Each structure stands twice: as C-alpha cells, then as structure tokens.
Chains A and B, each alone.
Chain A
Amino acid sequence: MKLTTRLLRTGLAATASLVLAASATAADIEPAVVFDMGGKFDKSFNQGVYDGVERFKNETGLKYREFEVTNEAQREQALRRMAQRGADPVLGIGFAQAPALEKVAKEFPDVRFAIIDMVVDLPNVRSIVFKEHEGSFLVGALAALASESGKVGFVGGMDIPLIRRFACGYEQGAKHVNPDADVIQNMTGTTPAAWNDPGRGGELTKSQFERGVDVVYAAAGGTGVGVYQAAKDAGKLAIGVDSNQNYLHPGTMLTSMLKRVDVAAYNVFMDAKNDEFTAGIQVLGLAEEGVGWALDEHNESMITGEMKAKVDELSEMIKSGDITVHDYTSDNTCKVAG
C-alpha cells in the first residue's frame, strides 16, 4: 500500500515535471496560491489576492490550486506540496511565508514562485513589495486636511514593523500639510486575534474620538470594520485600507488607502500564462500605481477640489522624488520631517 502510493507519487511527480517542461510554451499552466493565516475572506489583504486570482480564473478559464494555512509549519508543507503536484507558478502571500518559500524554491529550481510583501532573492522567485508608507502619506495628508480639530487617529492591527510602516507614513503625511497636527496611535493587540477584533477596534476608536480625533485610519485587517462602524456612529470620518472600502459606509468613509495586491497576484498568474514571467524584485509605490487612494462615487462629495488638488500635488512630488517618505522598516525608526 505504502509502496504503491510512493510509486504513484513518483510517477505523478515525473509526469508533472514533463508537463512543466512543456508548459514553458503551452498556455495551460496550473497556478497555485497559498493564503496566510488571515484566510482568503479577511476583507482585506488576503481577500485582495483572492479577488486577483479569481479574476484570472474568470478571464482565462484556468483553475488554480489554493490552500489556507492554519499554523506555522503548514506554510512550508503547503508550498512544497503545491510544487510536488506540478503547480506553477506558486504564489505565497505575506511576509511570514518568506523563510518557507525560500527553502522550497531552492528545492524546486524549475518551478516559478512569487511572494507578496517580502523579498526572497532567488533566480526563480518574483518578490513583490509595496511602498505602503507612500499611500499612507497621502491619506494622512487627506486626514489632516479634512480634520477640524487638528487631531487625527490611527488604529493598527498587531504591533509589527509592517503596520508601523503604515503608521509612520500616515503621520508624516498629516504633519506635512499641518505641522501642528496631533497623531494619536493605537495598536489593537499583540496576538493574531488583533487582525480580527472589530469590538476592540471600535472601542479604541471611540476613545480616540473622546480625545478630540475626528478622522481615523485603520490598518488592521478585519478589525477595521469596527473602526469604520464607530466612526459612522459618532459621525466622524474613517479611512479604509488595502482594498477600496469606501462603499462600507458612504458619507463617513473619507477614502481608502489602496494596496493593489489583487493586481500583483493577477499579474503573477497572467505573466506565467503568457510566458512573460520575470523573477526579481518589484517595488510598487505611487509611481507604479501599486498604492494610492480611492476616489469614487461614495466619497466624492467629501473630497473638495482643494483637497484633491493638494493630494494630487503631493502625489506628483513623491513620484518625482521631491518628497521622500521615510520608510519605518528601513531603519526601524519613524522620522517625521517638518
């Protein structure tokens, strides 16, 4: 029994590598995605990826394999199983998958891998990272422009460098347009539960409102839902994150900081299909339209022409390099100029 399974698997692997060799030219690829702990329906980061790969499926009719990890050890296991089963390309989601992906990518040098939010420097891996600080800078500026009290708030998920990068960019943006602006920051928690704790997010937001905040930015995954609800209840403004969340509460959602993981994921699959896959590091900032801010029918009434002009101007200055937004993770400190 055991022997036959092994033989069968070896056979499968052999067939898979044959298929793989052929797939370099053929259009039929079998892509795979490994979602991280948040799960594909986290309304935020993982779901952005899900939207992207679903779009690929609908446009091309090609199916993809997927897996949602539930503990640390499963990351490596899932990535390896995908590669063993002949999946190509294999897309890993989130910085936490980097060590596992590095290991597996070395074992399968002929399989194409991609990872979002972290750099894995191997010849068969495409690494996609975003300049969240640039997008956060713009929504920080918008927050300060919209604020009447001069106090703006930030609610983060778990206290990790990635979220500090959001917070730091936001603070820089707010202080750029209003040097006297007060930026009040809270992190939701210290366990992964902080990514999905709307109740606590709402409480933190209310306490920020009591301290005079009137615009709040949430970078906290599912916790953000509670933040936006609290803002709606109090008649204050909130800013969404990752996906365009303006539609959640039209009238109190000032804007959303967009991080186009959906486009990144879609491109990985599409490039592989069209044989245009390139390994290497892609850094997606404002200039590459990897990050940005959302303006649609739900919030256009709240964004005055003056605000839009100012933010567009800042955006151009960042793209041209006249403004450099400091990246928290470059030196693990937040330097706010001005």
Chain B
Amino acid sequence: MSTSNVELPAWIEVVLIPVLNICLALFFAGLIIFAIGESPLEAVSIMLNGAFGYDEGVGYTLYYTTNFIFTGLAVAIAFHARLFNIGGEGQAYIGGLGVGLVFLLLDGYLPTILLLPIGIIAAALFGAAWAFIPAWLQAYRGSHIVITTIMFNFIASAVMVYLLVNVLIRPGSMSPETREFSQSTWMPFMHEMLAVVGIDVTRTPLNLSFILALVCCLLVWIYIWKTRWGYALRTAGQSEAAAVYAGIKPKRIIIITMCISGALAGMVAVNEVMGVHHRVILNFTAGYGFTGIAVALMGRNHPVGIILASLLFGVLYQGGAELAFEMPKITREMVVAIQGLIILFSGALALMLRPAMVKIWLAIKPAQAVAQHG
C-alpha cells in the first residue's frame, strides 16, 4: 500500500515525526556511548547542561545557531526554486572577503552607525556575486548548479588562501590573517548590549547578528509566501513549463534566487568576521555552509523549521564540545559520529517512520483521514 500521498495532520508531520527521529538517533548514540563504557544518561545531561544550563553555554549555542540559520535559509530559498545550492561554504567565505575589503579601506574614516550596514551589505553583495556565476551558468549554459557550486567552494578557498597569504596578510604576521579592524566595525556583543540595560551575563561570541538572522527568517518567509516574486519562484520550482506559460521567466528566477541565496550565506561573515574575529582569517566558515544543507532538510525548508533545526545543531555543537571536555573518553570524532547519527535520522531517514505513522493514523481515525484523502 502506498502511503506517501496520505495526508497526516500537521502536528504529526512537523512535531511528532521529527521528535521521534531525534529520540531514535539519541538511542543509537546512547548505544555507542554505552559501548565505550560511559553512561549515556550522564552524557545527555552534560550535553544539555552544556548547551542550556548556564549563560555562557546558551551564548555559544545561539552563536552557532546564528550561522546555521543563515546557511539554512540560503539552502532553503534555493530549494523552493528546485535549485540545490551546495556552495554556501564558498559564498560565506567570499562574503568575508567583502567585509574585509571594505573595512580595511574604511574602518578609520566612518562611524559605527555607517560601518555596520556597509559591512552587512558588503557580505551580502560578495556572497551574492559568488552565487551569481554558477546561477548564470545554470540558466544560460545548462551547467548543473550542484557541480558548479561545489567547484566554486574550492575556488573560493583557493582565492582566500592566495589573498590572505600574499596580499591581505598583516605584515610580519605568521598567521595568514588580516589586521584587526578598528573597534568601530565590531558588531555589538550580546553581553555588551545586555550590560547596558543592566543585565550581567558572561562574555560569549553571541552578537547582534543573531537578531539579524531572525529578521532574515521573517523576510525570507514574506518573500517566499507573501510576494509575487515568491509566487514566481515557487511556480518555477514546481514546473518550469507552467511557469513559462504563466509568463514567468525561469532563467531570471534562477539568477535572482541564487543571488538571494548567496547573500544569505554571505551573512555568515557578518556573524564570524564582524561579530567574533574582527579580522578575516582562514576557514572561518568551518563547514557551516555544508551543515546548512542538513539544517534546511531538517527544517523542511521553512523559516520556523530552520530556526528549530539550527537550534538543534547549535546544541549539538556547543553540547558536543562540552561532552568532549567533560568526558575524556569521548573524543571529538565520537562527537562527530553522534552528530552524524542525528543528521542521518532526522535528515536522510526523515520519512522512514512515516508509513508506520500513516497506518497508525488510519487505524485511529479512518473516517477523517479517508475523507481528507478522497
């Protein structure tokens, strides 16, 4: 019996199945931890306590979450146009180049109030530019976007290494990185902003970019579901022929969508370069672009889902670090394996439980479900 076209109530689809998937993943992760002779329950409690138990942990969790929201949104918006943007990593990296270039030129001359928007725009523009080329190749030359965006990740990394080692490096520095930007370019840290209103929290990398990420979620939601452009984007994604028939130009959609996607990925540089490091360093993207794919899949390409999935990954990153810190037997490779299990169950195997759910649902509420189906 085919169950894929039976409709399930939203609460099963978006709440119950993901939660069950995570429970399954945690169960298998627990088996691994048990096998190496540590207590799974203790591990979970260390992980959760590390992520939420005290203000520093919360700060780090939300700092990671910020990156994942940006890259998750980037993948999701492209996905609605049936474009698979694997290039978030490179777009974020080049976004950092944009931030670096404008700040190296301007940071001594302009006030913070101007520098921050300029930095954000530079990150978005450079990220968008890096996505534009594969988009153009896809639209007008038919080069598959998956292949070209992957290759552009490597090109981005080669360009950045060349520039940081030879051109932008701080003279006399051992480390390939630019000089530190002046303080006027720094995204305000959350602990600084809270201190102004009298709330005292530990210093963490969490900064204003987190708010920016949430605003981006709202904007993406409005764009995709509440505007004509979003309608055109979704139509082109569902059926190119229908789009053409409706007077929508799919080539333009590809290019515009990929540029927005690249701009969102470029925002990672706002969090990392403007918010935390205050200089351009090698590999500040640290795989966030790739993780964005899993985030978007898990979040079902919806901004709300992406916020939740990003939070989950933030917990995995911060709680995972804590786990490696507290339990010497759990190495960082083990933490990656646990994270991998969770991605496997809630991303790749997301629909594994669905057929069973459908059967149970039909057994409980046959009349209503059949009516919906029919």
Contact = CB atoms under 8 A, between A and B. Distances in A.
B277 A72 contact: yes
Contacts of A330: 172
A147 interface: no
Interface string B146-185: 0000000010011011100100010111111000000000
Contacts of B165: 159-161
A191 interface: yes
Contact of B174 (A68, A70, A190, A329): A329
Contacts of B158: 190
Interface in B216-271: none
Nearest to B52: A2
B164 to A, nearest CB: 8
A98 B336 CA distance: 26
Q: Describe A's contact surface by its main secondary structure.
A: helix
B44 to A, nearest CB: 15
B6 to A, nearest CB: 42
A284 interface: no
Contact of B53 (A1, A81, A191): A1
A76 B206 CA distance: 13
B321 A74 contact: yes
A73 B273 CA distance: 11
B283 interface: yes
B209 to A, nearest CB: 13
Contacts of A39: 332
A118 interface: yes
Nearest to A74: B321
A105 to B, nearest CB: 15
B283 A72 contact: yes
B332 A68 contact: yes
Contacts of A5: 49, 53-54
A2 B54 contact: yes
B27 to A, nearest CB: 24
Given A68-B324, A118-B174, A6 B54 contact: yes
Contact of A191 (B157, B174, B279): B157
B95 interface: no
Contacts of B328: 66
Contact of A161 (B160, B174, B324, B336): B174
A335 interface: no
Contacts of A190: 154, 157-158, 160-162
8 contacts: A72-B277, A72-B284, A73-B63, A161-B169, A161-B173, A190-B160, A329-B172, A332-B172
Interface of A: 1-2, 5-6, 9, 39, 66-68, 70-74, 76-78, 81, 95-96, 98-99, 117-118, 158-162, 190-192, 329-330, 332
Given A39-B332, A117-B174, 4 more contacts: A6-B55, A81-B325, A160-B165, A160-B176
Interface of B: 49, 53-55, 60, 63-64, 154, 157-158, 160-162, 165, 169, 171-176, 205, 272, 276-277, 279, 281-284, 286-287, 317, 321, 324-325, 328, 331-332, 335-336
